[in-house]
């Protein structure tokens, strides 16, 4: 069957993971509406996050790095739908764009990938772990202060190549990404959410469209996932509360109990992992945003002014 209308253009990064996510969105839209594959076009857009590979994400500008160029294409009308990893999105939505839906979350946990050993505990003293994420660097140093952490930038395939080449003894990746690329067997250890709390939004695909584009809003509505949306609302509110005031590592994970209650685990750490402040805040799912804000206030006041000042010293 061939489709006569102009294809709906889906914008995505070109990494294998990004393409897997865009294909999943297309497949879900095809199923939801009985549309053929050629009703959609996939447009690859290169982002600064794909091009700048020699510096940690926090130095290059952090959030927005993997989304800015795709959002510009959406605003310009070069694409109709943007597909992002929610984890890579800033908390402020650009003017003229809206988050149309979050898809049902994949596994939220991080995985350890060891070269010669299977687990973090089995790494020899002083072993090297590669990661570009401040959160992962900090959490692994907290577990194993003896480890040497090096910056690992690039997409999943690049990082796994660096690991295979011996640039590190282990690395950390989102299990969601590995699952989406049928690479779950690459993980040698799956890390629990309490021991290794994930990034806000980890494992959830986000769809963005132009404000007022009702055709796209209607098309996308059936593939949105209500529980994921609630969880992401809480996690992103926590991030928004902290974002303005610091660039310290942040972790957040919201869980629903199936009876209308949500619990958010929110965490901030120093980059060396020596100091951590965390809270669990619960309430009705209808208060997701407020629960996230409250968790942010709690960890901010527990950390105190000195927490951020000390980190400024560390950076200098
Ligand atoms: N820019 C990195 C990025 N953004 C989203 C994911 C994983 C997939 C997800 O969290 O949905 C990854 C790779 C990783 O952290 O291993």
Tokens of 139: 């959490």
- Cα 124 to ligand 1 centroid, rounded to whole Å: 27
CA angle 112–178–115, rounded 5-degree value: 35
- Choose between 1 and 288: higher pLDDT: 288
Q: From residue 99, give the alpha-carbon distance in Å to each of 58, 183, 208, 247.
A: 24, 29, 4, 24
Which segments within 124-222 are labelled E, that is strand? 128-130, 148-150, 170-174, 189-190, 205-210
- Closest ligand 1 atom, residue 66 Cα: 1
CA of 1 to the centre of ligand 1 (A): 35
Domain topology for 1-104+204-224:
D-Maltodextrin-Binding Protein; domain 2 (3.40.190)
Q: Give the residue from 311, 255, 301 showing the smallest Cα distance to 277.
A: 301
Q: What residue segments make up the domains of the chain, in order of their start?
A: 1-104+204-224, 110-190, 225-316
Report the topology of domain 225-316. Double Stranded RNA Binding Domain (3.30.160)
Q: Of 310 and 64, which is predicted with more confidence?
A: 64
For this complex, say whether ipTM is above 0.85.
Answer: yes
In this predicted model, what pLDDT tens digit does every residue of 172-217 receive, in sequence order? Answer: 999 999 999 999 999 999 999 999 999 999 999 999 999 999 999 9
Q: Is 88 a catalytic residue?
A: yes
pLDDT digits (tens, 9 = 90+) for 41-61: 999 999 887 777 666 666 666
Return mean pLDDT, the chain. 92
pTM of the model: 0.93
> Which residues lie closer than 8 Å to 150 by C-beta, 6 or more apart?
128, 129, 130, 167, 168
Q: Quick check: do 1-104+204-224 and 225-316 share a fold?
A: no
Bigger pLDDT: 98 vs 66: 98
More confident residue, 106 or 312: 106
Query: Which top CATH class is 110-190?
Result: alpha beta
Residue 316 clears pLDDT 50, i.e. is over it: no
């Amino acid at each position: 069957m061939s489709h006569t209308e102009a294809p709906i253009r889906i914008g995505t990064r070109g990494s294998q993971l990004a393409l897997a996510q865009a294909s999943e969105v297309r497949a879900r839209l095809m199923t939801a509406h009985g549309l053929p594959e050629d009703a959609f076009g996939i447009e690859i857009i290169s982002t600064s996050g794909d091009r700048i590979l020699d510096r940690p994400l926090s130095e290059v500008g952090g959030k927005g790095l993997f989304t800015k160029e795709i959002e510009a294409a959406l605003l310009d009308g070069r694409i109709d739908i943007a597909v992002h990893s929610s984890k890579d999105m800033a908390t402020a939505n650009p003017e003229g764009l809206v988050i149309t839906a979050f898809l049902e979350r994949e596994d939220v946990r991080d995985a350890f990938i060891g070269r010669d050993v299977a687990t973090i505990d089995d790494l020899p003293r002083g072993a090297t772990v590669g990661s570009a994420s401040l959160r992962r660097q900090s959490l692994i140093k907290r577990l194993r202060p003896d480890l040497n952490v090096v910056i690992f930038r690039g997409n999943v395939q690049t990082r796994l190549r660096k690991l295979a080449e011996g640039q590190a003894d282990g690395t950390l990746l989102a299990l969601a990404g590995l699952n989406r690329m049928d690479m779950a067997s690459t993980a040698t250890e799956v890390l629990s959410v309490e021991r290794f709390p994930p990034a806000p939004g980890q494992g959830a695909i986000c769809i963005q469209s132009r404000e007022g584009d009702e055709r796209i809003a209607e098309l996308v509505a059936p593939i949105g996932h209500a529980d994921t949306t609630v969880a992401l609302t809480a996690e992103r509110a926590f991030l928004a509360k902290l974002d303005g005031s610091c660039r310290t590592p942040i972790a957040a994970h919201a869980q629903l109990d199936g009876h209308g209650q949500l619990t958010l685990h929110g965490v901030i750490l120093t980059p060396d992992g020596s100091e951590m402040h965390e809270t669990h805040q619960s309430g009705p799912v209808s208060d997701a945003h407020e629960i996230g804000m409250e968790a942010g206030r709690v960890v901010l006041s527990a950390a105190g002014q000195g927490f951020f000042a000390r980190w400024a010293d560390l950076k200098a």
